[in-house]
Each structure stands twice: as C-alpha cells, then as structure tokens.
Amino acid sequence: MHFLTEPPRFLFFTGKGGVGKTSIACATAVQLASQGKRVLLVSTDPASNVGQVFGQPIGNRITAMAAVPNLWALEIDPQAAAQAYRDRIVGPVRGVLPDAVVDGIEESLSGACTTEIAAFDEFTALLTDAALAQDYAHIVFDTAPTGHTIRLLQLPGAWSGFLEAGKGDASCLGPLAGLEKQRSQYQAAVEALADPLRTRLVLVARAQRPALREAARTHEELAAIGLSRQYLVINGVFPAGEAASDPLAAAIYAREQAALAAMPQALEGLPQDRIALKPFNLVGVDALRCLLTDADDTPQGAAAVELPAPIEAPPLSALVEGIAADGHGLVMVMGKGGVGKTTLAAAIAVALADRGLPVHLTTTDPAAHLADTLEGSLPNLTVSRIDPQEATARYRQHVMETRGAQLDAEGRALLEEDLRSPCTEEIAVFQAFSRAIREGDSKFVVMDTAPTGHTLLLLDATGSYHRDIVRQMGETGVHFTTPMMRLQDPRQTKVLIVTLAETTPVLEAANLQDDLRRAGIEPWAWIVNHSVAAAQSHSPLLRQRARNELREIDAVATRYARRYAVVPLLTQEPVGVERLRALASREKA
C-alpha cells in the first residue's frame, strides 16, 4: 500500500460517511502496532464506532486495546468538547455582563462552527504535545480536520477586538472569540498538518462518481490551504471475479470501472491504492488484519450464506402516497453525501408531478447534478438550483454596501476577511432557502439538501433568524410565521432522512435526527437506499453483504424511524424520468 510506505508520525483519514475511513484507519493502526510500534488511534467522528470495531468501550480517554498489543485508542466527543468550550468562554462573563449580552454570546456559540472548532481544540494538543510524541511512534486519526475548520483558524488575529468594536457581522467570528490565547498552538498544529515529513493526509473514496467528485473537492480545498501532499485510497472496489454470473454484480462492476476510468483530473496525480470489497463485516481484529491484504481468506464465520429471498420492506412508493395526500408542502431530503439524496429527491418530485401536482424541485447542494439525473422535463415540474457562489457574492456585496459603509479602512479590511469565511456562504444561501420554504404554501417544494454539516448550518441560521424575529415582535400580538416555524410544523414540512444499510451511515443519520429534534424538527421518515438485501443477487459476496445489512435495516425500522422505506440497489442507475418514475412506483426499476 502506497499510503503505508514509510509512514510519518501523523496519519489522517478523511472521507464521506460510509466510504470506510474508520475501517481503514483501524486496520492501519493494527498493522503498525503489529510491527512493534506504539500507536495511538484517535477518532474525531461524531458517529465514531471505533469501540464497536474493537469490541470494547473507549470514550474520551486514552484506552489500551486489549486485543492488540502496542495499540491505544481515544474517541473525542465533539458535542462534549463544544459544551466545555462554551462553558469556558461564557462562564467568566456570566453575572458580569448584562444578560442580553451573555445571551448574544451563547447564541453565537450555538452553531455547528463551534462544534468543529471545539473538536479541533481537543486534538490540537495531540499534534503539538511533545510528551505524546515521545510516547507514540504514530498517531492515526479517523476523520481529518476539514478545510472549513482550517480556514476558520486562518481568519485574522484581531477577532476579539473586532467584535468588541461592534464591527463583526453574523458569521464565524462568534465561535472564534476568545481563542487568541490558543492561536500560537493552533498555528503550530496547522504547520504540522502541512508538513509531509510529519503528516500524511489520506483521502478515502469509493469507486463511484459522486464519491470521487467529493474526494476531488476535498483534495482541492485542502491543497488551497497548503495541505497538498495527499494520498488516495479507493475502498470497496468490486472484484471482477464476482461479476461473471450475476447481472447485479456485473452491473456494479461495470459502473465502478466506468467511474474509475472517468476519475476527476485532480485525483489522477495522487499516489493511489485500491482495496477490494470484502464479504465480511469489518468488526474485530481478525477482519481488520484481512482488510489491507489481497488474500482471499476471510475471518471465521464470514463465509457467504444464501438468503431465501429479498427482504419484505415498505417501498418508496408508500412514502410518496403519504406525501401526496397533503396536496402541497416542503419535502426536505437530508443525509450525508454519497447516500443518493439527489436521485431520491428527483424520484419523489417526478412521482408527485405524475399525479398532476405542481412541484418545484430544488437543491442547496454545491455538488448538485439534478439536470444530469432528470435528463428531461415533465409537466407540472420545475427545477432550480440555489447557486452558493452567486448567493454569497450578492450577500457580501450587500454587507459591504451597508455595514461596511460605516467602517474605516481597517474595519472594512477585517470585514472583507470575515466575509471570506465558510459560514458566510451558509448565511447567504439561507436567504434563498427561505424563499423556497414559503413556496410550500401553494405547491410541493422538494429540496435536495447539501451534505449534513452544511444543512445543519443552514438550520442554525434559520433558528437564529427565528429567535430574532420572536424577540423583535415581543408582545405586539401581530401574527407572524418564520422559516423555522414552517420547518417545525409537520403539516408544512416533511423531512426525509436518507441512509445506507451500513453501520456508520446509520449512526450518522441517527445523529442528524437527534440534531433536528433539538431544533424542534421531527423527521417524517427514513429511506434506506441502495440496499443489496432488497435486491436479487446470486453473487456470494453480495449475498453476504445483504446478510450484513439486515441488522442495520432492523435498527432503522425498530429504533430510529417512525416510518421508513427501503430502496434496492439497481442493475441500472436511475437516471432519466422513466427510471426515476419506476424507482418511486411499485414497478420494476
């Protein structure tokens, strides 16, 4: 494996949910530890399942792995880190400053930006702690810091003074207030990340066009901030031998090979490894030892088994019937990147339009490809895209022409720098997002949302707007409805959470549901997409993977979802109106 050749002290694995970065990080840690090196495995993933992989609890403390000599692990809890971070900043001023000021500080620290910064705050010490460096030959991170987080840390050093002078606007500056003391430590951490002699960044993807496009965006985003020395691991590549006698297996193999042949140019120059799809669950040390080898041997108990028939589960058409019954409203299709949100949103929109209902299909996803998915038009259906770059440019111009007009040259320069922060885009997109929400009063608006982290930032912006309006209206008695109130009303909004029948995507979807509920938004249904268990296959490898899915589908049905549907993995990609129509009907797709 190229990414394991002469590995430096720090190895970071990053990628979308479900691509296997946790499994590869764990397998890497096991392999390095088996060479007699002391290794620390760190997870910064909110949906960490490292403890499940090794079969022992870990938590937010360094814990020796009983089954692997020389290996220790640590799971950083981003939510707990965020709360501790908020307490550290707000605690000293509570009771000193007016309550309204304290409330404003807490509001500025309530968003997803704060969670990212707090998690970075936690593991920064692991990059700069000299004692830890002496204790461990390698520190392996499951989930690298995002380009979003690092760009936040590169904002100007005059954060606190800028805010105190009243020059700050609604952006990421709130979460960064009070960080000046850690600035030197953060700078050292960013320098360590950018040093290829100390750090190796490994992008993990699947052999699928959306996953490879996302990996290319991540590569370019990190390269733009100085982290250009990266490796690429394409995980779960379908073996050619399985494709010989099964139509579904042959279709999967052909799709993956086409995606690899059309790999984005940005990735072509990276050192690359490919890991074959395994038939067994990557749980336990024996399974991890097999992941990074080409051997055909599988852990005991992982032999392929036959399933009597595809599982019986509610189809997507059952959810469409429930949605159509209301005649209008907002349908938000949410979930992590790579789970098929765009396709499902398009299929639902086509099914509603076929019933003669007016439908507006739109997306807030910067990587959206709705036009490619639809490949045509349909009566009653309009399609649009909220362009983040255009919305952001308009928002920046507006802020500079209004708030910036009152500032001196230094203040304008700092404001311009602030407006280049990642959260500015979310605030800008929120304005267009709000307009789309209002359309749900008279038609169906089906929204293919951005990946979960971005979506939660949008909802944070929605919540802040809602609370501001409520405060301003006070006791006037005037009737008003904010976007957040619409999102919280099940008669106006139905949130559909999309996942795959795999451990990490289901955990991430459950975390998303918890976040939505904290915002007063109750998800209406879950959709388990690309299910092998719901498809017909004679491939031994696919049969085993179908068996592995059953536990996750059962968890969705019995623990997480009020209602759900399962969409099978198809031999043909659901592109074009006819295939989308079949996907959301009881016909064979």
Q: How far apart are CA 207 and CA 216, in angstroms?
A: 13
- Report the Cα 500 to chain-centroid distance in Å: 13
Three-state DSSP at 80 gives: helix
Residue showing tokens 């954060």: 159
The values of phi and psi at residue 370, to 5°, are -60, -45
Dihedral angle, C-alpha 156, 159, 164, 167, nearest 10 °: 40
Q: How far apart are CA 183 and CA 480, in angstroms?
A: 43
Q: How far apart are CA 246 and CA 72, in angstroms?
A: 43
- Dig out the tokens for 298 from the structure: 């599988």
Q: How far apart are CA 180 and CA 186, in angstroms?
A: 10
- Report the Cα 177 to chain-centroid distance in Å: 26
Three-state DSSP at 277 gives: coil
- Dig out the tokens for 442 from the structure: 């008279």
Q: Minimal CA–CA distance to 556: which of 532, 525, 530, 584? A: 525
Q: How far apart are CA 366 and CA 338, in angstroms?
A: 13
Alpha helix ranges (H) inside 225-301: 247-261, 265-268, 285-291
- Dig out the tokens for 278 from the structure: 């395994």
Q: Minimal CA–CA distance to 487: which of 430, 529, 528? A: 430
Q: How far apart are CA 360 and CA 28, in angstroms?
A: 46
What is residue 355's DSSP assignment? T
Q: Are 518 and 347 contacting, i.e. CB atoms less than 8 angstroms apart? A: no
Question: Strand 138-142 relative to strand 272-276: parallel, antiparallel, unpaired?
Answer: unpaired
Helices 78-90 and 99-108, interaxial angle, to 10°? 150
Q: How far apart are CA 28 and CA 42, in angstroms?
A: 12
Q: Are 455 and 449 contacting, i.e. CB atoms less than 8 angstroms apart? A: yes
Q: How far apart are CA 63 and CA 351, in angstroms?
A: 51
Please report, in angstroms and rounded to a whole number, the separation of the first and last CA atoms in the chain: 39
Q: How far apart are CA 237 and CA 541, in angstroms?
A: 12
Environment class of 572 (CB within 10 Å of its CB; exposed 0-12, middle 13-18, buried 19+): exposed
Q: Are 323 and 331 contacting, i.e. CB atoms less than 8 angstroms apart? A: yes
Rg value, the chain, Cα:
24
Catalytic residues: 18, 20-23, 45, 504
Beta bridge partners of 564: 526
One-letter identity of residue 440: G
What is residue 560's DSSP assignment? I
Q: How far apart are CA 545 and CA 304, in angstroms?
A: 8
Cα angle 342, 13, 424; round to 5: 55
